[in-house]
Structure 1
Amino acid sequence: MPSTPFRSLEDYIALPRVEALALSPDGTRAVLTVATLKKDGTAYERSLWTVPTDGAGSPARLTRSAKGESSASFTADGDILFVSARADSEADEDDDSAQLWLLPATVGEARPVTRLAGGVGSIAAVAQDASRVVLSAELLPGGESLEAEAKLRALRKKKKVSAILHESYPVRFWDHDLGPAEPHLLALDLSALADTVAAVPAESDDRAPGDAVDEDGDAGTPYPATLPRPADLTPAPGRSADIAGAALTPDGTTLIAALRIPETRDGRFALAAIDVATGERTWLFDEPGVDFEAPTVSHDGRTLAYLRSVRSTPAGPTDIEVWVSDIDGGNARRIATEWDRWASSLVFAADDAVLIATADSDGRGPVFRLPLDGGAAEQLTQDDFTYTHVAVDRASGGLVALRSNWVAPAHPVRIAPDGSVTPLVTPAVLPVAPGSITEVDTTAEDGARVRGWLLLPEGASEDAPAPLLLWIHGGPLNSWNAWSWRWAPLLAVARGYAVLLPDPALSTGYGLEFIARGWNSWGGKPYTDLMSITDAVVARPDIDESKTAAMGGSFGGYMANWIAGHTDRFRAIVTHASLWALDQFSGTTDSSDYWQRIFTPEAMIENSPHRFVDGIRTPLLVIHGDRDYRVPIGESLRLWSELAEHHAQPDGSTVHKFLFYPDENHWVLKPQHAVVWYETVFAFLDQHVHGADWRRPELLG
């Protein structure tokens, strides 16, 4: 029996992980961002590796630093840009902010390109044929220059002030507080990067009036003359530079950005063209109640492609449309009008006559070709994988991408124009998966096909049927079609469980009608679909119908709670970061307007799991992180309180358990916290599914 790392949690978290891919301008090499476990096992460090794209050769490591690297991109000259908080010999010793770095294509060490007091967030866009790059970075609104902004940061740090004054909604996002700094888009001309060290003048016209240079040099200091000075393309932005995509024209003269237009508690996204030299802004597409996102520009600079979506209402979901126009916004037209999939990425093919798109589709994530002339969409890849980070090789017309599925983590591949796929070498060798994967489906009461993936442990048979774990995806606009390091069903398979990964109503990749089946009614067909496909799977001779459990996170946690209040068919239920009381959740989540916009007030009450707490008969393991702003901790606090109110014994004891993480967000990301998560989940499942004694994980004390 081949050795597999999924039998050991410590071996699992130590697996290297390919997270991103960038393709060189000549198409001969790809740069991978690879995460590896630190020696102490408490965090991951990221480095850049290069691999040839012809399918031969060996991977080579490009960077090494304690702080790691991310957001890799290529310049027109083949140099590599990345973001890192690695030490800069010319910066202050205590400066740990992330900056933009450049690694030359030919010879030489990486060098810093920025020295912003608040650091760089990410690379927003890089010009195809010019030395221009646009960054996303946060600046304090009170700073009228980079020097004045640095002084304000130093003053807040010196006075130990963390207070934030909000003047608009939202105030937080996912796992972090918004403010006091605001997101900006900053343009850099890399040709201005000096090769010699220049003397820094004692005085500078760029210093804010009246500012003085402190003795320690951390306030009012002029921005380094040896580095290209960033040009602010979004002055006084508020939250408008929380972009939904950006692209530079090949010559680097114009930035096309999906900027946020504030609207009471929300904001729509509109497309703007920004002159990089002057900052002048021209609105290309902006409609009330409509979002324009994911702009991409053709290689010849003449055509713009983007996604357009009308805001959904309780009446039903709306489509995500693919549109193209001239680069100035003229001649706008929708393409692929009969294509019933939602594009998750867009890029122009080498000849600019076709868009290359990815989209969820039937439990996979294929690559599609969308002709600009209005022709029918064509599925290019035909395998059981999901593709991401698709890049176009302009020399050959081929593609390079990452692909994954539930038995193979992300790995680099080359896709030929005919759709054939060649795996590339990778520093993260694919681990041996335990068991097998098969496709299952059933027919719902309304005639809809409901499908999913079933992972079976080795040896599962009629003579030795496996216990079943129903694992429900989050979203809810999502699909079980790609590898996730956070959700690892193979860990359960290695412990003898069969794992069902279904796509019920609301799942993506099956057309708008399939999503609409569960719209404004989460407790309706999403629930009955899950029960129907579970019925079909437990009828198999290699599944033990008497030993079943259910689990899910986020929307999957919502469904776990709903299931708990509506059936006692499962022996145990795990509910992670779950929605419990929808009226409470919708006003405390980080984006309340969206959730209140897609439900009627009546449906929000009718579909709230908390109303059915009396009916819960199944032991629940509740899990939540206190830094979760998408589904705030109040959901699980209320769930735990009401479980105790309705089901605790007179002495306060209960069959339920609550695993709480004070410093995790919607997911559990720290490696040792992930180990504790799985140890607790498997101990809970073994106790109630197999009747084993409860085993408290050691690190829980």
Structure 2
Amino acid sequence: MTTMVNDPRTLHQRLVEQPRCTGLALAPDGTRLILSVQALDDEGVRYVPELWEVDPAGERDPRRVPGSRQGDFAPAFAADGTLLFLSDRETGEADEGPGPSLWSLPDSGEAAWTAHHPGGTTAFTAAARSDTLACTAALLPGAADARAHAGLLGRRRRAGVNAVLYEVTVDSGAELGPAEPHTFVLGRDASPVDAGGQGLEGAGDMALAPDGSLVAYTRAPTGAAPDTNTVVIADATTGAQRVTLSRPGHLYYSPVFTADGTRLICERQQEETYDSEWQVTLVAIDPLSGEETDLLPDFDNWPWPGRAICSPVPGDTTLWFTGDEQGHRPVFRREPDGTVTRLTASGAYSSLCATPDGSTLYALRSTLDSAPQAVRLDAAKADQDPTPLRTPGDLGPLPGTLTEVHTTGDDGFALRGWLVLPEGAAAEHPAPLLVLAHGGPQGSWSDWPWLWNPWPFAARGYAVLLPDPALSSGYGQRMQERGRGEYGGRPYDDVLALTDAALARADLDPTRTALAGWSYGGYLANRTATRTDRFRALVSHAGLWNLESFQGATDMHAYFRKIFGDPRIHRERYDADSPHLDATRLNTPMLIVHGGADSRVPEAQSRELQHDLRRQHVPAGFLYFPDESHGIEAPNHLCLLYETVLNFLDHHVLGEQWRRPELL
């Protein structure tokens, strides 16, 4: 195992303890750059948010924001340069109840309590050129405003009631509780008791026009049309709706107004069905007429464009966005005439910010061999390398190198994946191989992962293949077409094709291999368990096993029902792709990992797999985290995940004695 000199910790321990950079906020004058960081608390048992200040010039070391505390999060700037954030700090008002409040922090001085909503505020945004704020917070059914909501919360608490009556289908993104999200608008001098604003209808993402006159938000899907939501543009003072826009089979996300307020830019997503591919684009909506324009009609990189940022210069319709492309997530610039230019040569970018003149961008950049850090970019230069800024945290040297693997699918389509090679891998000492399948299936191995990071395995001597099979993003619309309706077909074949290409290398050992995956990757691990015995061990984390019971229980029921169909009518789709139907073929040792609070892939999927493995007398373990959801969030749990999986692989792939983790 490779470790840092004089550092007794394993790499996965250092990985878990590493501060995580999660977001950026730039002051209106471009002089302050605030970084959101997730760091271990004093006991080392959970991650807590912190606010750090990064020097935009890259000359000074980063520092904790003066006046901030652990627990402050979601930074943004008001038009006058005041730093705003959410926090669970004590407000001094006993009757306000728990939950995050909105706080403000000037350049010098103490933080001031700005607004509170009973039960807490979940998100907020500030107008670019006015003192108007918009917040997302919840109201219980029957509560007309924040004061009535507080009364109902108190009555439920005193009665010891946490029951919920659902009158519509609980679907993806819904909180499993009775309250519904609303958007509230308030001025900076509004009363913090009732959030000072007009409650609008149930809302998700939101944006304010720069002058604060309009608010836009997305209304959640209804039970009647779970694959369709609505964009609402309303008067920010009265809440009166001016424009409502929806499109059957489409969802809108991440609204943002242009600098002059004449257009609203949104992501528009057409979700996958059995007969059509997943498609994502950016659209512009006229806030007066509601007319919608596709901004990327001919962009076939299929980059799954993220939240756009608009030029801060009024009248300039330039915008920037990120999107997957060939194992990277570049920054793209769209000119007013529709021309799209890729600005970055490599890496995965997020959290874009533009300077007031639109000449410079700041972003977080990561790769599969470097954790996220703040960087500076020229806002117009093509295929550039960024200027790194001094950022908190340093994992230290990694135990190996990163390269690529290329091959073709059975249809001639060009396939690629990343390959992590451990130190010392050579023809004389070939390394064992772990194939690690990503989730999604729409997604790509492009940025630094905290969950299922390849480097702890490289530190133990494993090479790690990170394949992008059919249905992965960043390879054009054809990559979606070739995987449509074949959850366990062509994607599985592509993973094996890339595995064969990797094992053609002399420095990898084809007799010592394993495959692991999380979510959809866990499904591919389960599919592999019933299709081949070429691997010595398999790990399935939150994987789908019985597609019929899964699509009836997941929080994304409507989405998966569109893909798989009614099992009473489209039996052939389940027969083709549900691994549980081939349970008698199980014979490879498996480790199952699942969280008890997982609503995306309910834990019953793994329970059923475990029962089938036992019936087939296959060696199997079940690593169960009762309080975790679809991922693993707690640092100690994440450390146990890596330790258990590594010991399982060492036992079955390398033939070493099984070592049960001490805390298990």
TM-score band w.r.t. shorter chain: over 0.9
AA aligned opposite 1:146: A
After TM superposition, give the deviation of residue 257 of structure 1 in Å: 1.6
Match of 2:268 among 287, 308, 311: 308
After TM superposition, give the deviation of residue 59 of structure 1 in Å: 1.1
Determine the structure 1 residue equivalent to 2:29: 26
Match of 1:363 among 327, 342, 363: 327
After TM superposition, give the deviation of residue 489 of structure 1 in Å: 0.9
Q: Is 2:42 aligned against 1:78?
A: no
Instruction: Indicate how the Cα distance of structure 1 residues 502 and 329 shifts in structure 2: closer, same or farther if over 3 A, else same.
Output: farther
Question: Conserved in 2, the CA contact under 8 Å of 1:361 and 1:510?
Answer: yes
Question: Conserved in 2, the CA contact under 8 Å of 1:470 and 1:499?
Answer: yes
> Could you give the per-residue CA deviations for residues 186-206 of structure 1, whole angstroms, max 9, x where no partner exists?
11211x15xxxxxxxxxxxxx
Q: Is 2:131 aligned against 1:131?
A: yes
Could you state the TM-score of these two structures normalised by the residue count of structure 2?
Answer: 0.94
Counterparts of 1:68-217 in structure 2 under 5 Å? 68-91=71-94, 95-104=97-106, 106-123=107-124, 125-170=125-170, 177-190=175-188, 192=189
AA aligned opposite 1:24: A
> Could you give the per-residue CA deviations for residues 324-367 of structure 1, whole angstroms, max 9, x where no partner exists?
24332456432332211221221113442322110000000000
| SS, match of residue 433 in structure 1 | coil
Instruction: Indicate how the Cα distance of structure 1 residues 619 and 438 shifts in structure 2: closer, same or farther if over 3 A, else same.
Output: same
AA aligned opposite 2:514: A
| SS, match of residue 549 in structure 1 | strand
Determine the structure 2 residue equivalent to 1:39: 42
Which runs of no fewer than 5 residues in structure 1 stay unpaired? 194-224, 649-653
After TM superposition, give the deviation of residue 396 of structure 1 in Å: 5.0
Instruction: Indicate how the Cα distance of structure 1 residues 523 and 437 shifts in structure 2: closer, same or farther if over 3 A, else same.
Output: same
After TM superposition, give the deviation of residue 43 of structure 1 in Å: 0.8
Instruction: Indicate how the Cα distance of structure 1 residues 295 and 372 shifts in structure 2: closer, same or farther if over 3 A, else same.
Output: farther
Determine the structure 2 residue equivalent to 1:698: 662
> Could you give the per-residue CA deviations for residues 258-307 of structure 1, whole angstroms, max 9, x where no partner exists?
22241426251222111111110123422223333322211122222223
Determine the structure 1 residue equivalent to 2:580: 610
Higher deviation after alignment, 261-270 or 277-286: 261-270
Match of 2:243 among 267, 283, 306: 283
AA aligned opposite 2:361: L
After TM superposition, give the deviation of residue 624 of structure 1 in Å: 0.6
| SS, match of residue 229 in structure 2 | strand
Determine the structure 2 residue equivalent to 1:206: none
Instruction: Indicate how the Cα distance of structure 1 residues 184 and 73 shifts in structure 2: closer, same or farther if over 3 A, else same.
Output: same
Q: Is 2:372 aligned against 1:410?
A: yes
Question: Conserved in 2, the CA contact under 8 Å of 1:127 and 1:252?
Answer: yes
Counterparts of 1:505-654 in structure 2 under 5 Å? 505-600=470-565, 601=570, 602-645=572-615, 647-648=616-617
Instruction: Indicate how the Cα distance of structure 1 residues 316 and 288 shifts in structure 2: closer, same or farther if over 3 A, else same.
Output: closer
Instruction: Indicate how the Cα distance of structure 1 residues 456 and 508 shifts in structure 2: closer, same or farther if over 3 A, else same.
Output: same
After TM superposition, give the deviation of residue 370 of structure 1 in Å: 1.6
| SS, match of residue 684 in structure 1 | helix
Question: Conserved in 2, the CA contact under 8 Å of 1:48 and 1:63?
Answer: no
Determine the structure 1 residue equivalent to 2:305: 343
Distance in 2 of aligned mates of 1:329 and 1:53: 40
| SS, match of residue 158 in structure 1 | helix
**Structural RMSD (CA):** 2.0
> Could you give the per-residue CA deviations for residues 99-141 of structure 1, whole angstroms, max 9, x where no partner exists?
111111x321111112322111122x22110111111111212
Question: Conserved in 1, the CA contact under 8 Å of 2:114 and 2:192?
Answer: no
Q: Is 2:341 aligned against 1:381?
A: no
| SS, match of residue 121 in structure 1 | strand
| SS, match of residue 266 in structure 1 | coil
Determine the structure 2 residue equivalent to 1:212: none
Distance in 1 of aligned mates of 2:308 and 2:49: 26
After TM superposition, give the deviation of residue 430 of structure 1 in Å: 5.1
Distance in 1 of aligned mates of 2:212 and 2:364: 27
Question: Conserved in 1, the CA contact under 8 Å of 2:169 and 2:223?
Answer: no
After TM superposition, give the deviation of residue 429 of structure 1 in Å: 3.1
| SS, match of residue 36 in structure 2 | strand
Structure (1 or 2) with the larger CA radius of gyration: 1
Higher deviation after alignment, 45-54 or 467-476: 45-54
After TM superposition, give the deviation of residue 665 of structure 1 in Å: 0.6
> Could you give the per-residue CA deviations for residues 510-549 of structure 1, whole angstroms, max 9, x where no partner exists?
0111112111111111011000010010110110111100
Counterparts of 1:391-410 in structure 2 under 5 Å? 391-395=353-357, 397-410=359-372
| SS, match of residue 222 in structure 2 | strand
Determine the structure 2 residue equivalent to 1:258: 218
Question: Conserved in 1, the CA contact under 8 Å of 2:232 and 2:242?
Answer: yes
AA aligned opposite 2:518: G
Distance in 1 of aligned mates of 2:385 and 2:520: 36
Question: Conserved in 2, the CA contact under 8 Å of 1:270 and 1:285?
Answer: yes
Instruction: Indicate how the Cα distance of structure 1 residues 431 and 139 shifts in structure 2: closer, same or farther if over 3 A, else same.
Output: farther
Distance in 2 of aligned mates of 1:226 and 1:686: 57
Question: Conserved in 1, the CA contact under 8 Å of 2:14 and 2:395?
Answer: no
AA aligned opposite 1:681: V
Distance in 1 of aligned mates of 2:175 and 2:235: 31
Higher deviation after alignment, 670-679 or 327-336: 327-336
AA aligned opposite 1:381: T
AA aligned opposite 1:101: W
Which runs of no fewer than 5 residues in structure 2 stay unpaired? none
Q: Is 2:409 aligned against 1:449?
A: no
After TM superposition, give the deviation of residue 675 of structure 1 in Å: 1.4
Distance in 1 of aligned mates of 2:238 and 2:207: 17
Question: Conserved in 1, the CA contact under 8 Å of 2:250 and 2:270?
Answer: yes
Q: Is 2:620 aligned against 1:656?
A: yes
Determine the structure 1 residue equivalent to 2:643: 679
| SS, match of residue 42 in structure 1 | coil
AA aligned opposite 1:608: S
Distance in 1 of aligned mates of 2:270 and 2:13: 46
Could you state the TM-score of these two structures normalised by the residue count of structure 1?
Answer: 0.89
AA aligned opposite 1:149: H
Determine the structure 2 residue equivalent to 1:222: none
